[in-house]
Amino acid sequence: MNTHAMLAVNRPPTILGAIPATISTGVEVACLNGPGDTVFSAEQGIIDQLQVYLSSQGARCTKLDLPYAFHSQQVDPILDELETVARAVNMGPPQITYISSLKGKPLQPSDTVDATYIRQHCRQSVAFSTALENARSDNIIDQSTVYLEIGPHPICTGMIKASLGSGTSTFPTLRRKEDPWKIILDSLASLHDIGFAINWSEYHRDVGGSCHLLTLPSYAFDNKNYWIPYRNGWTLRKGDPASTVEVGETKQVQQAPKRLSASVHRVAQEDYNLPEPSIRFESDLYSPELHEAISGHRVNGSALCPSSVYGDIAVTIARHIQQNPEAGLLNSGHNITDMEVTQPLIANPIKEDEHRVLRVHARVNRSSQALSLEFASFNPDQKSETKHATCTIEYGCPDKWLRGWKHDLHLVKDRINALETQAASGEASKVTTGLAYRLFSSLVDYAPRYRRMDNVFLAGPTFEGSAEVGLENRGGNDDEFVCNPYFIDALAHISGFVMNGNFTVDYNEAVYISHGWESMRFAKPFEPTGKYRTYVRMLPADKAMVSGNVWILCNEEIVGLIQGLRFQRVPRTVLDMLLPPVGRRQPVPKAPQQQQMKTPKFQSPPQMQAVTVIGSYQKVHKECVQPFDPTIDLLAEELGLPRADISLYDKLHDLGLDSLMSLTLSGNLRERFGIDISHSQLMECDTIGQLLDLIHPNGQAALENIVSEESSSSSTSSEDASDSSGTVTVDSEIENTTDLIRSVILDETGIEPKDLHSQADLGSFGVDSLMSLAILSRLCGMGVDLPMDFFMRNQTMADVSRAISGSSSRKEESVPPEVKFKTDQIYQEKPVDRELPSAQAILIQVRSNPTGDRQLFLFPDGSGSPSSYSALAQLNPDFNVYGLVCPFLKAPEGTTSRIEDTVQIYLSTVREHQPHGPYYLGGWSAGGVLAYEASKQLIEAGEVVLGLVLIDSPCPISIPPMSSSLIEFLDSMGTF
């Protein structure tokens, strides 16, 4: 033992030929581990000399800490006995590929592994790298092969990478001085990630009783079922379970769920089985406690919901979700981050007949231990929610927060003491409670429960302040909230007071409105008897934004921190537009003048104009139907009445003009005459006269010119052109208005004129909702009245120019000559085979882009009518949108028994308007099922379907028969 040694050298074995014989004599090559890694064996003295010599030549040498020199003459005495022992072992041919480091190659079926092989393996050199190279040459291994090293320490791993490349995948099973379970588990996890099927049940076999399944986020491309399941009598209750009553001597209605707090009233929807659980909470905005909290915060006289109410709701929801074990949320601290108020929530006075709900949509992210919240209001008269605010709640450790804040305590206290010293010397101001909130009242009027600041110290020039805050009861039940919004607001008041109670700010010109915060944390519950102090210093964050951190101390300890509390500078004129002072009437827009432009007051083009007409306008006598009016012909055709039976005073509903017929009429007006009138506008008309006023409000000649331009010959047009044509030039007013808008944008944003090119995104220059209001306010003072959403819909200067001019290509508006009307050239009705059912296609929306060529076909819902789609906002400008009418709507006796046959009828109509794809199809509810089947049939026919829009559609399977409760309900309505 210890008579021989081994030396690892980063040189090839051929280096022995360059070593003096006095040193190299007796040295043997024990291992060839890599192309440039060799291990030599010899007696101790020779190895020491070899190490000194090779080190002097720049080689890296490592003497191995081993008691023997393996693969050298030192093992000769044991070889005979080793071979004898090995003969007792029954060894057969390898069952898997065996790469032999003795032979330096993979063994063949003819090669044997026996006692002699074991003897040679012990004595002869290890040809590790040679064996790997030969295995690669024989295509036994390649660059995708994975190597798992079985041994006490990863020795072979380095040799494999040295021979085959550093990108080779190798994994150890054990490593010196490290936990074996950690190494094994890390390797198993890595093998699982690259696609190996690990038998985890075998891994957990010894501790199976302690295992439980965790729900992890699913892979992004896993298939998911997005169909709405048909359950709980969908037609009656839209998936909600039937209400239950207790049966007994008296029936008792099921009790409403218990309120979570005064600000969160109920859990409307809860599902923790999803990868990202989704929960919806609801609160009644007109409940006494919540309405009092909102109406006690009045900005410009309007009851504006403060961010503190959102904060209390967020903490209440976070605590409720955390109490559910299925949520998988561990820490107890609530860090409300990224609070952003996007649209003010204003609480109107409570009315008995009004019901308004605040909905909060929560999503759980288990991996990041966080919630995302979205606040939106809703009332039964709305078809959509109004989004007001968003935030994220991160679960953390309050004890860790407290330890971190201790390092900042002395700095905060030093600034508070400095403010008190400055106030004593007259360099800063000291303000009492009454005066502080009187200064505040120029912008915000707080109810008594909010007024909790006292002894306010303010350094105006540096926008720095401190205040004492009392959380004692000041009326009402403070325990009805989880994180009292009155307390949150009062503790943050110092930041708003620094900005809006500062003598260095001209509040007649602008005010500062809270815009949210980056982070809000309270490490301890509120103590009504605690002595609270707050401190803040506000600093510029942007051109019109300031930001600061509010430090909250209780009994000389930091217990809370609001970081990145932001205030946006808002001009008074803009604030008065956003929140008009109570008692002041809002300005009424003036009616636009026609045919002349004395002042540049332009409105941006609406998404869907009421009427599109071209030509001169003349007043006509409207006591009787004009004999040449093709609208009456169209209406008579739709109603199935003789034209002579229709007069101006006829009631439309008496003539049978229902919702579907008005939708059909609207579509035909678009297709035949280019007159764009919405379905809702038609439904507001009571008589034929009102309908004609809507179609051509400026006189009958408007419609005459439309039809004449489409159908009259050029000779007829030129006949009267000499005395009625004219041109009105509008270039100068358009250019002046565009230049004026450009100059105001440059002044408000402060950017260079060269940067405001035609395609520049105004949003990238800071033209957000508030700045756009400032720009619009200045333009209004200059005589240019634009709608409040003008810059939301026109986001580049090119868009602005087009909106002002009405068309980027038209420089002149020509007044075409009046021509005679020819009724025989208006339209011709296509012959229809009345024996076969056909589905009608109604043009609901006309593409605004003249170069567009795509169509969207919307299939009807269960009513058979496409009237549901008439309320859609304007869609893609490249699309014509058609609504399909059920072929059996008025003849249900001809209904086919198979949905496939019905869809074929629809597709016949679709192909009349578009013979070949690519197609875009869609539908709401049952219409989605029809669209799905239509897509399937078109694809099977070799057509291309590029878009399929499904809106609240059930899974397209066989829907069960109507429930008995539905039949009873329909019977009670007199359906049968």
pLDDT digits (tens, 9 = 90+) for 668-699: 777 666 676 766 677 777 777 777 777 766 54
Cβ neighbours, 10 Å, residue 496: 23
List, for residues 889-900, the tens digit of each pLDDT value: 777 766 766 888
**What is the C-alpha separation between 322 and 534, in angstroms, rounded?**
30
Residue scoring higher pLDDT (227 or 103)? 103
Residue 817 has pLDDT above 80, yes or no: no
Nearest residue to 283 (alpha-carbon basis) of 302, 298, 268: 268
Query: CATH homologous superfamily of domain 834-951?
Result: Alpha/Beta hydrolase fold, catalytic domain (3.40.50.1820)
Residues 885 and 664: beta-carbon distance below 8 Å: yes
**What is the C-alpha separation between 667 and 503, in angstroms, rounded?**
62
- As a three-state string, the secondary structure of 736-801 is HHHHHHHHHHHHHHCCCHHHCCCCCCHHHHCCCHHHHHHHHHHHHHCCCCCCCCHHHHCCCHHHHH
Beta bridge partners of 226: none
Residue scoring higher pLDDT (536 or 341)? 536
Cβ neighbours, 10 Å, residue 515: 20
Residues 878 and 853: beta-carbon distance below 8 Å: yes
Given pLDDT bands bounded at 50, 70 and 90, which one contains residue 649? low
How high does pLDDT run on average in the chain? 79
Residue scoring higher pLDDT (195 or 273)? 195
**What is the C-alpha separation between 440 and 453, in angstroms, rounded?**
12
**What is the C-alpha separation between 693 and 697, in angstroms, rounded?**
5
Given pLDDT bands bounded at 50, 70 and 90, which one contains residue 819? very low
Mean pLDDT of 741-760: 83
What is residue 950's three-state secondary structure?
strand
Residue 471 is classified by DSSP as -
**What is the C-alpha separation between 360 and 387, in angstroms, rounded?**
10
Residue 642 has pLDDT above 80, yes or no: no
Widest CA span of the chain, in angstroms? 131
Q: What is the pLDDT of residue 481?
A: 92
Q: What is the DSSP string of 801-857?
A: HHHHHS-SS--EEEEPPP----GGGS--PPP--TTS---EEEEEE--S-TT--EEEE
Q: What is the pLDDT of residue 827?
A: 32
Mean pLDDT of 355-380: 88
CA separation, residue 499 to residues 163, 242, 269, 468, 545 (Å): 69, 54, 41, 18, 11
The answer regarding whether domain 728-815 maps to CATH 3.40.190.10 reads no
Q: Report CA Rg, the chain.
A: 41
ω into 600 cis (within 30 of 0): no
Residue 196 has pLDDT above 60, yes or no: yes
> CATH assignment of 259-396, given 3.30.300.160, 3.10.129.10, 3.10.129.110, 3.40.50.300?
3.10.129.110
**What is the C-alpha separation between 381 and 99, in angstroms, rounded?**
78
292: left (phi over 0), alpha (psi -120 to 50) or beta: alpha
Residue 94 has pLDDT above 70, yes or no: yes
Residue 898: Cβ-neighbour burial (10 angstroms; 0-12, 13-18, 19+)? exposed
**What is the C-alpha separation between 514 and 405, in angstroms, rounded?**
25
Given pLDDT bands bounded at 50, 70 and 90, which one contains residue 639? low
Among 539-543, 635-639, 862-866, which is the least confidently predicted range?
635-639
> Any idea which fold 4-141 has?
Malonyl-Coenzyme A Acyl Carrier Protein; domain 2 (3.40.366)
List, for residues 235-260, the tens digit of each pLDDT value: 555 555 555 444 444 344 444 557 88
What is residue 313's three-state secondary structure?
helix
Given pLDDT bands bounded at 50, 70 and 90, which one contains residue 376? very high
Residue scoring higher pLDDT (711 or 155)? 155
Cβ neighbours, 10 Å, residue 126: 20
Residue 815 has pLDDT above 60, yes or no: no
Helix, strand, coil share (%) of the chain residues, nearest 5: 35, 20, 40
Given pLDDT bands bounded at 50, 70 and 90, which one contains residue 117? very high
Q: What are the residue boundaries of the structural domains of the chain, listed by start?
A: 4-141, 259-396, 398-578, 728-815, 834-951
Given pLDDT bands bounded at 50, 70 and 90, which one contains residue 29? very high
List, for residues 761-810, the tens digit of each pLDDT value: 887 887 776 677 678 767 776 767 777 678 878 888 888 888 887 633 33
Residue scoring higher pLDDT (187 or 963)? 187
Residue 583 has pLDDT above 50, yes or no: no
**What is the C-alpha separation between 578 and 440, in angstroms, rounded?**
19
What is residue 8's three-state secondary structure?
strand
Q: What is the pLDDT of residue 202?
A: 86
Q: What is the pLDDT of residue 751?
A: 84
Mean pLDDT of 255-276: 82
Residue 572 has pLDDT above 50, yes or no: yes
Residue 228 is classified by DSSP as B
Residues 536 and 495: beta-carbon distance below 8 Å: yes
Residue scoring higher pLDDT (576 or 859)? 859
List, for residues 214-231, the tens digit of each pLDDT value: 776 666 666 666 666 655
Residue 607 has pLDDT above 80, yes or no: no
Q: Which of 112-126, 206-220, 314-328, 858-872 has the highest mean pLDDT?
A: 112-126
Beta bridge partners of 334: 395
Distance of CA 202 to the CA centre of its chain: 42
Mean pLDDT of 726-753: 72
**What is the C-alpha separation between 713 and 702, in angstroms, rounded?**
18
β strands within 473-526, DSSP E: 510-522
Residue 569 has pLDDT above 50, yes or no: yes
CATH level 2 (architecture), domain 398-578: Roll (3.10)
Mean pLDDT of 810-837: 39
pTM of the model: 0.43
Given pLDDT bands bounded at 50, 70 and 90, which one contains residue 617? very low
Residue scoring higher pLDDT (207 or 142)? 142
Residues 6+ apart with CB under 8 A from 257: 266, 267
Q: What is the pLDDT of residue 968?
A: 76
**Both structure tokens of 630:** 């093709």
**What is the C-alpha separation between 741 and 795, in angstroms, rounded?**
13
**Both structure tokens of 65:** 């800490």
223: left (phi over 0), alpha (psi -120 to 50) or beta: beta
Please work out, in degrees rounded to the nearest 5, the angle formed at the alpha carbon of residue 194 by the alpha carbons of 190 and 200: 60
Strands 854-859 and 919-924 come out as: parallel
Nearest residue to 350 (alpha-carbon basis) of 418, 406, 289, 437: 289
Residues 6+ apart with CB under 8 A from 521: 333, 334, 335, 336, 396, 398, 401, 560, 561, 562
Q: Do domains 4-141 and 398-578 have the same CATH topology?
A: no
